[in-house]
Amino acid sequence: MQTPGHVRLGRPLEWLRTHDPELAATRRAARTALVMPALFAFCSQVLHSPTMATFAAFGSFSMLLLVEFTGPMVQRLRAHLGLAMAWAALICLGTLVADKTWLAVVITVAVGFLVLFSGVVSSVLAEATTALLLAFVLPVTSPAPLSQLPDRLAGAGLAAAGALLAVSLLWPRPAADPLAAHAARVCRTAAAQLRADTHRLAEEPDAPSTRQCKDTADQAVAAASDLRTAFDATPYRPTGLSTSSRALVRLVDELTWLSTIVADSSRPHSGRPTCDPEAYAVRQGAATVLDRAADLLDAPYGAPDALRTASVDLHEAMTAMERRATTRLPMHLPGPGTEWEPRAFIETLDVSFRAQELGFATLQIASNVDLAAAAQRRSWRDQLLGHEPGALARPLASARERAAAHLRPNSVWLHNSLRGAVGLGIAVALADLTSVQHSFWVLLGTLSVLRSNALNTGQNAVRALGGTIAGSLIGAGLLHLIGHHGTLLWFLLPLAVLIAGIAPSAISFAAGQAAFTITLVILFNIDQNPDWHIALLRIQDIGIGCAVSVLVGLFFWPRGAAAAVNQALAEAYTDSARYLAGAVDYAVGRCSSGPAPTDAPLQERRQAAAAARRLDDAFRSYLAERGPKRVPLADMTALVTGIVGLRLAADAVLGLWRRGSEQHTEADRAEAGLVLLDVAGRVSGWYRDLAISLGRHTSLPDPLPHNPAAEARLVHSLRHDLRDEHGPATATAVRIIWTADHVNAARRLQPALAAAARPGSPS
């Protein structure tokens, strides 16, 4: 039985866990609430250096609350050490140029652009953007003689030392991504379901009962649901910006897709044989790969050899299944005057196709898990320079390539960097011209609300100004109540820091702005006669900063990252649909009479892959954009991951026909080719319509329904064209049926994508 005290304590903790998943914001806030006041007290009361106290306070606030690096502890400490060195360099630069307004404005624009644009190179730099900007904003808006530079550096050094100790000793962040454990559970439960269903379909003596299979399936469904819940729990960024985190984001929909395939392939179908030995081997191999993927998700710094070996074995099992499909499925010619009905043949092939579809999906998942783990095993230098795992280029060359790829007029990173740099430069100029006290408040206002589009900037400006007004009024009220008892401010400072750290994530942006304002009001009134009038003056400073943000957001690419994702989605769907059509066209060329095609659609494949990479970069920027999202993150992610499914279908078709060893013949298979081209044309045409809808905000046609007439035509073509004189189905017949099935798998994705695209346009 719970005591009343436990109930009172449990309710706030339950609310906090609901609004702050994994307690990430609470962890950062708690560390900062301990370290920042302690350093401020030490510098101001023991060392009697207000300059050191200011830089120690803001340095610890920046290094502990505004960043949280991922990876093993050694890499996190290296990242914090690098951040400290960058702080020292930026403090020196800001102090040197602060005396001359024109020079301060020019250098602010240059530094702002370099810091913001560096985020495209690596996730480490993207994570530290705000902290780095604060390191320059603080000294450039506080002109002081060079004699104060040692005190400024000493304060930042104390902050860095405190941050290193806090990160390693105070409530260390788990090394694993919060999604990884859920993804590993989905892999294991899906593997268990595959094994149970396969044993049952094969009618083995020790096969699990129907009830046991149902329990296993229920566990797999629950695991997939928990993964989706964990993914959707944080509305804006459910995981980090790193390569490994973005691979895990894609893994969410891939595992959801896999769960659907596993559930569908386990259902009994009338007239379908149970499970042939080759399909059995593929399903068992897929289960092994999923188990090894789960092991690597649980221990990403372990060796990936087991997963890679299992993936090779699965690929070989799939190849053997494709090669032996015809020898296991003889179809003898009927007697004269009787009609040949190959539907049983097609239903039997459906077992093999489901196993093949399952194998391709599993290999895609294994590749992403391997990529995520390899990204986490990178050296800190490779992470800092954004060097992709397995890339042929050297780290510096890779960083230059990524930066050069975004020096384009339509690059969202370029837009954001120029917008932010110009906004900060204007704020520095206005702060100097208006001669406001504590002019860095103006830049804090600019920095806190400047976002990737004018709409979000305007909304956040209103919220920021409203939060600042509320915080100033509350701060002024506190100072008025405290009167001459200024010692109480020391006790309020840790509480204010704690709330300022938790509020933006757990409550709202405006609440966070209010709490941050209260923190600064307390900080600047400690050891002085509390003056509530000064608290109210901060409203004008923040107002100037907000106005700068709104104006810059209106005049510099006002549509922001969502528009870039929109365009990238349209291009990726267009190129991927072209790739699917090209793969089917290649298949038709391989199975029809006439000259055999010499070139596979490799150019279309490269273009689709390049479009997918551009989409990945745009989506990364979209995740980093901290404004409200008009399209739910789950819907946007479904649209992004739909590219994976479309490309996977095209890859499967291309691989199926490139692996085929059958020689080109003169048999007339024109009718079968026409059926495939017609079906592929309709499916790829729908995806082109989806691309147009996303790019131009036009209406989207309904998803294509199941087409029994096309299947009947394919059956008819098999009746006339795809038998040899001895009766057995040819290898070409098998590949044609599987090609149609892969195209149909791409069609089955359409309802989910249409539902994600129709609630609103990502603009």
358-410: per-residue pLDDT in tens?
888 888 888 888 877 776 666 655 555 454 555 444 545 555 666 666 676 76
pLDDT tens sequence across 560-574: 566 778 888 888 899
Band of the pLDDT at 521, cuts 50, 70, 90?
confident
Q: Which pLDDT value is given to residue 157?
A: 94
- Other beta carbons less than 10 A from residue 119's beta carbon: 24
**Average pLDDT for residues 145-168, to the nearest whole number?**
93
Q: Which CATH class name applies to 562-763?
A: mainly alpha
CA atoms of 565 and 113, how far apart (whole Å): 22
pLDDT for res 36:
93
| Out of 92-96, 292-296, 414-418, 566-570, least confident range | 414-418
Q: Give the model's pLDDT for residue 462.
A: 64
Q: CB–CB of 163/128 below 8 Å?
A: no
At 593 the pLDDT is 57
Q: Which residue has the tokens 């048999």?
A: 667
Range 586-609 average pLDDT: 74
Is residue 552 within 8 Å of residue 458, measured between CB atoms? no
Q: Which two tokens stand for residue 91?
A: 């403090």
pLDDT band of 278, cuts 50, 70, 90:
confident
DSSP, res 23: G
Higher per-residue pLDDT: 287 or 125? 287
Q: Is the pLDDT of residue 139 over 80?
A: yes
Buried b (16+ CB within 10 A) or exposed e, 82-93: bbbebbbebbeb
The per-residue pLDDT for 31 is 92
Cβ-Cβ contacts under 8 Å for 54 (sequence gap 6 or more) = 138, 155
Tokens of 208: 């699990």
The yes-or-no verdict on residue 233 having pLDDT over 60 is no
pLDDT of 392 reads 41
Asked whether the predicted pLDDT for residue 241 surpasses 50, the reply is no
Backbone angles phi, psi at 633, to 5 degrees: -60, -35
pLDDT band at 590 (very low <50, low <70, confident <90, very high): confident
Instruction: Return the higher-pLDDT residue of 95 and 337.
Output: 95
The percent of residues in the chain predicted with pLDDT above 70, rounded, is 65
- Bridge partners of 723, per DSSP, are 729
Which residue in the block uniquely carries the two structure tokens 């810091």? 115
- The model carries a pTM of 0.66
Q: Which residue has the higher pLDDT, 637 or 293?
A: 293
| Each residue's pLDDT tens digit, 7-30 | 454 567 777 777 776 777 888 899
Output the pLDDT for position 393.
Answer: 45
Query: What is the pLDDT, as a whole number, of residue 288?
Result: 93
Give the confidence band of 122 by pLDDT, cuts at 50, 70, 90: low
Mean pLDDT, the chain, rounded, equals 75
Residues 651-659 have a mean pLDDT of 80
The residue-averaged pLDDT of 287-316 equals 88
Residue 126 scores a pLDDT above 70: yes
Cβ-defined contacts of 73-79 (< 8 Å, 24+) = 73/167, 73/168, 73/172, 73/175, 74/380, 75/380, 75/383, 76/167, 76/168, 76/173, 77/164, 77/167, 77/168, 78/380, 79/124, 79/128, 79/380, 79/383, 79/384
pLDDT at 394: 52
Q: How confident is the model at residue 455, as a pLDDT?
A: 44
User: Across-strand partners of 729?
Assistant: 723
Residue 617 banded pLDDT, cuts 50, 70, 90: low
* Domain 180-405 CATH assignment equals 1.20.58.220: yes
User: Domain residue spans in the chain?
Assistant: 21-175, 180-405, 432-555, 562-763
For residue 7, the model assigns a pLDDT of 44
Kindly state the average pLDDT of the residues 502-516: 78
Neighbour-count burial for 191-215, b at 16+ CB within 10 Å, e otherwise: bbbbbbbbbbbbeeeebbeeeebee
**Is residue 605 pLDDT above 80, yes or no?**
yes
Q: Is the pLDDT assigned to residue 238 strictly greater than 50?
A: no
Evaluate if residue 514 carries a pLDDT over 90: no
Cα–Cα distance between 553 and 456 in angstroms, integer? 9
- The answer on pLDDT for 110 being more than 90 is yes
pLDDT given for residue 538 in this prediction: 59
pLDDT tens track for 395-407: 455 556 666 666 7
Q: Percentage of the chain surpassing pLDDT 90?
A: 13
Whether 339 shows a pLDDT value over 50: the answer reads no
Please compute the mean of the pLDDT values over residues 80-91 and round it to a whole number.
Answer: 91
Q: For the segment 30-71, what is each residue's pLDDT rounded down to a tens digit?
A: 999 999 999 999 999 899 998 999 899 989 988 998 888 776
User: Mean per-residue pLDDT for 468-489?
Assistant: 74
Answer for the pair 293, 366: CB distance below 8 angstroms, yes or no. yes
Instruction: Read off φ and ψ for residue 614, nearest 5 degrees.
Output: -65, -40
Q: Which residues contact residue 205 at a Cβ distance below 8 angstroms, ignoring those fewer than 6 apart?
A: none
Q: Is the pLDDT of residue 584 over 80?
A: yes
Give the list of residues 6+ apart from residue 207 with CB closer than 8 angstroms, or none. 199, 200
Model confidence at 200, in pLDDT bands (50, 70, 90)? Answer: confident
pLDDT of amino acid 573: 93
Q: What is the pLDDT of residue 629?
A: 58
pLDDT of residue 756: 84
**CA–CA gap between residue 479 and residue 472 (Å, rounded):** 10
